[in-house]
Chain A
Amino acid sequence: MSKAFAKVVTANALRSGRVVWLSESDGWTQDVLNAALFTDAEAAENALARAAANTAEVVGCYLADMRATESGPEPTHFREAFRRDGPSAAARIPTIGA
């Protein structure tokens, strides 16, 4: 059985560089749970084309695989999970030894 199609549009914000996702309202959100989840390939491609044309706000748009959960889209690949979560907890802040 092939996996059900489920993708979001993601990019980096032009000014801050931070990871963003295309929201239901066609804006950009920093919370993947608010991202628009496309279950139709054509709708996803159209959304991507619209988003990519918006070069004043974002850089490097692409479609990323997700699965639908009750709280919102959830990454299916670890790379997208790291993009959502930021550096591993331990890597986020340099440790000062005793």
Chain B
Amino acid sequence: MYVYTDFDCAFLTERNQQFRAQVARRLDGSLTEEEFRPLRLMNGLYLQLHAYMLRVAIPYGSLNPDQLRKLAEISERWDRGYGHFTTRQNIQFNWPELPDVPDMLDALGEVGLHAIQTSGNTIRNVTSDHFAAAAADEIADPRPYAELIRQWSTDHPEFQFLPRKFKIAITGSPSDRTVTRAHDIGLRMVRKDGTAGFEVIVGGGLGRTPMLGKVIRAFLPVADLLPYLEAIVATYNLLGRRDNKYKARIKITVHENGLEHVRDLVEARFAEIAPYFDSEATQAELARIAAHFEAPVLPEVTESDYHTARANDPAFRSWSDTNITAHKKKGYGIVTISLKAHGAVPGDATSAQMRVVAELAEFFGQGEIRVSHEQNLILPHVALANLPVVYSVLKRHGLATANAGLLSDIIACPGMDYCALATARSIPVAQELATHFERLKLEHDIGPLKIKISGCINACGHHHVGHIGILGLDRGGVETYQITLGGDGTEDAALGERTGPGFSYQEIVPAIERILRTYLALRHGREETFLHVFRRIGLSPFKAALYHSEAADAA
């Protein structure tokens, strides 16, 4: 894990002091809301539907136990005893009061966390693979590069007023767990002639105009990473539209100008600025950062306790089937801690749960915790032999739901339960889906399935890349839910296709059930997943199930 230098600490302390003074001036009336708003947004403080919301960046989704315990403490002292993990590997506190926020930021600073650039038209938290340094198929740990990008992008003077927000995702694995093609810039580590570099993808994004990113550079040497990123963002800064908020993201810039033209401009800018980057100094900095991410030394271990527990305890076996992913080292596993207990709010964790996870990471997980964009927590390095005890502790705290990658492992944005932009609720739809299918005991039979729910067109819930996507809208004063099918956020990324007219809040869960009953009836055995069946048979049978049965019922 990266540890702040004196420079980093001094920077953060100064920023927090500035914000404390800004809050004081707002409270004593020296600043109007118009003057204060951009200042609070620069520090991650939103005003939502019912209260303020503080969004804290969890850099590339990596946390140490002290940081997670501090988040628990903050949620207790200044919020309501829980936090919400988001699809961008951030955590949101939903109930802070304005006078307390400077203290919250100071508390975050104590453990090297902050809320800088979690809002505004800047480069946001760089997201990364939650299985980094543990996945068996990884070329290299992407996090040192993510940290380098974080340092470069934080308070970058040229990029504080971009046309619109800017999101970068980076993966070191061919298996894409970071949805790189739905980001403004996606970086995928690749090898060419034995050398590691990046495939650079640009212009992806969901929202009202969903687009998959396109490859702007097939192979970028590691040494050129910063000047090339700077060339892309500088090109976008000049070329991107500022006349229309809905056409301001780089995906529209690329779409309207054409990839070739954008590439020419980027390459020209790159040629211009690359000489000013001291690549030796960057390499030295990268080496300094990389030393913080040295893989933990994992001793050789036996697996016998694990196999015994699997043989004797069906609940443990079920959990380890779904929530454990193969580790690159024999005898170890990657644990997905589900924040999706049936009926719970996806991504919410209480302060008590955060402390339990911190402790487990300390005792059994090499002191590492990850936040996944799928709103779960991960212990990336756990000896299989320790899984029975880890499981029993998780179970006591409502954290051992065996559903990773299944129907109830739903991504849901906060929706109209919290968000000022939302047009409908998402959380209760996720809760209803999870409890409904739990009652039917169908979840494990249905198998791998990604349901993603957004409460407005901005698509924070990634519904376009859900196998089943649900989009909540306001249609004439009524919550209405549109369905898309066949989306995919992996290396085979695809945008879902809309089925047709939407469904009311009361109709949406039965509609999803009709889709899944159709899948079960038409699949060629359990091995054929929902996504496979959709790719084989297309939209029509699902449309028939969704709309014709309604007509039949009415008749």
A89 to chain B, nearest CB (A): 9
Q: Does B418 contact A (CB under 8 A)?
A: yes
Question: Which of B162-170, B336-344, B368-376 is near enough to bind chain A?
Answer: B336-344
Residue of B nearest to A57 (CB): B29
Query: Cα distance A63–B348 when bound, in Å?
Result: 33
Taking CB atoms, residues of chain A closer than 8 Å to B342 are 97
B344 touches A60 (CB 8 A): no
**Could you tell me if B350 and A91 are in contact, using CB atoms closer than 8 angstroms?**
no
B27 in the interface (beta carbon within 8 A): yes
**Considering only CB atoms, which chain A residue lies closest to B35 in the complex?**
A55
Chain B nearest CB from A73 CB (Å) reads 17
* Interface: B97 (CB within 8 A): yes
Q: Residues 77-98 of chain A: 1 if any B CB is under 8 Å from the residue's CB, otherwise 0?
A: 1110011001110110111111
The answer to whether A88 touches B427 (Cβ under 8 A) is yes
A87 (CB) vs chain B CBs: closest residue: B417
B49 located at the interface, meaning its Cβ lies under 8 Å from any Cβ of chain A in the complex: yes
Query: Which residues does chain B contribute within 8 Å of A82, judged by CB atoms?
Result: 49, 416-417, 425
Which of B27, B33, B353, B399 lies in contact with A15, CB distance below 8 A? B27
Q: Which of A12, A79, A87, A91 has the most CB of B within 10 A?
A: A91
Q: Report the nearest B residue to A19, measured CB to CB.
A: B50
Chain B nearest Cβ from A41, distance in angstroms: 21
CB–CB B51/A18 < 8 A:
yes
B115 at the binding interface (Cβ < 8 Å): no
- How many chain B residues touch A (CB < 8 A): the figure is 42
Contact of B428 among A15, A59, A90, A93 (CB under 8 A): A90
A16 at the interface (CB under 8 A from B): yes
CA separation between A8 and B232, bound complex, in Å?
Answer: 48
Alpha-carbon gap, A79 to B400, bound state (A): 35
- In the assembled complex, the CB of A16 is this many whole angstroms from the nearest CB of chain B, namely 5
CA distance in complex: A79, B473 (Å): 12
- Interface members, chain B 451-496 (any A CB < 8 Å): 474, 477-479
Residue with the greatest number of chain A CB neighbours at <10 A, chosen from B49, B348, B431: B49
Collect the chain A residues with CB atoms within 8 Å of residue B349's CB: 94
Contact B341 A96 (CB under 8 A): yes
Residues of B within 8 A of A98 (CB): 398
Distance (Å) between the CB of A71 and the closest chain B CB?
Answer: 22
CB < 8 Å: which of B47, B345, B418 contacts A95?
B345
Chain A residue at minimum C-beta to C-beta distance from B82? A94
Task: State in angstroms the CA–CA spacing of A90 and B48 once bound together.
Answer: 19
Cβ–Cβ contact A94 & B32, under 8 A: no
Decide if A49 is an interface residue (CB 8 Å cutoff). Answer: no
B 290-347 contacts with A by CB, 8 A:
341-345
Residues on B with C-beta less than 8 A from A56 are 29
| Complex interface residues of chain B between 10 and 64 (CB less than 8 A to chain A) | 26-27, 29, 32-33, 47-52
Q: How far is the CB of B136 from chain A (nearest CB, A)?
A: 30
A14 to B398: give the CA distance in the assembly, Å.
36
Ordered nearest first, which 7 A-B pairs have the shortest CB separation?
Answer: A97-B398, A97-B341, A87-B417, A96-B398, A17-B52, A94-B348, A17-B51
Query: Interface on B for A, CB 8 Å cutoff?
Result: 26-27, 29, 32-33, 47-52, 82, 95-99, 341-345, 348-350, 353, 397-401, 416-418, 425, 427-428, 431, 474, 477-479
A-B pairs with beta carbons under 8 Å apart, 18 shown: A12-B47, A14-B33, A14-B98, A15-B97, A15-B98, A17-B51, A18-B50, A19-B50, A55-B29, A55-B32, A60-B33, A78-B477, A87-B417, A90-B428, A91-B417, A93-B82, A94-B348, A96-B341
